[in-house]
A = this chain, B = another copy of it.
Amino acid sequence: MPKLGMEPIRKAALVKATIVEIGRSGSLDVTVSQIAKRAGMSSALAHHYYGSKEAIFLAAMRHVLSLYGAEVRGALAVVQGPEARLRAILCASFSPANFRREVVGAWLNFYVLAQTVPEARRLLSVYQRRLRSNLLVCLRPLAGARAEAVAEGLGALIDGVYLRQALREGAPDGAAAMQTVLAQLDAQLQGKS
């Protein structure tokens, strides 16, 4: 009983299922059938809407990235002052929505995907540049000439905390993760202003 206007619904379901499956299995070795099954349709339909497995992966990646971007924008919209904005960015990075187990697992595998698929690499570069730029705006008034170096370090630290989270057994703890990052940030800012 085909209803019309299914395309966006199906596509969204596939993207969601892809993230879950990659997160669950912890690798990109996920079959289109698995994804389609979790999304409640046949694998043929997945191909019908996306054309290829790679396209599905890229759509999932864009989704995670745009979710993250939206979260950051939202957090930045309600605060002002460099320090508060800095905290808002970090807060968004470790918010429950982004720091869910499956999402973190997906992130790790998107890094792997970026090694092979140019478009995935591009997407990840965009994310990194935007993060860097956001940090820099806040850091320049706070850290002056050292801003670039601090931003570089903070970015790497965030990625590293994600990486370690992917390996952790228990439930994710965004609060603890943010504490780690905040401690480093405070130390950097105290040294010199």
Q: Which residues of A contact B (CB under 8 A)?
A: 25-29, 105, 108-109, 111-112, 114-116, 121, 124-125, 128, 146, 149-150, 152-153, 155-161, 163-164, 166-167, 179-181, 183-184, 186-188, 190-191
| Contact of A105 with B109 in the complex, beta carbons under 8 Å | no
How many subunits of this chain does the assembly comprise?
2
| Contact of B112 with A112 in the complex, beta carbons under 8 Å | yes
In the complex, which residue of chain B has the Cβ closest to the Cβ of A169? B121
Contact partner of A160 among B105, B150, B160, CB < 8 A? B160
In the complex, which residue of chain B has the Cβ closest to the Cβ of A183? B149
Q: What is the CA–CA distance of A166 and B112 in the complex, to the nearest angstrom?
A: 9
Complex A-B: 20 CB contacts under 8 Å: A27-B28, A105-B115, A108-B111, A112-B112, A114-B167, A115-B166, A115-B167, A121-B167, A150-B183, A152-B180, A153-B157, A153-B180, A153-B181, A156-B163, A156-B164, A157-B160, A160-B160, A160-B163, A184-B184, A190-B191
Q: Given that A153-B180, A160-B163 are known contacts, is A26 also in contact with B187, CB under 8 Å in the complex? A: no
B residues less than 8 Å from A125 (CB atoms): 167
Contact partner of A187 among B27, B105, B188, CB < 8 A? B188
In the complex, which residue of chain B has the Cβ closest to the Cβ of A115? B26
| Contact of A160 with B156 in the complex, beta carbons under 8 Å | yes
In the complex, which residue of chain B has the Cβ closest to the Cβ of A152? B180
Q: What is the CA–CA distance of A14 and B174 in the complex, to the nearest angstrom?
A: 40
B residues less than 8 Å from A159 (CB atoms): 159-160, 163-164
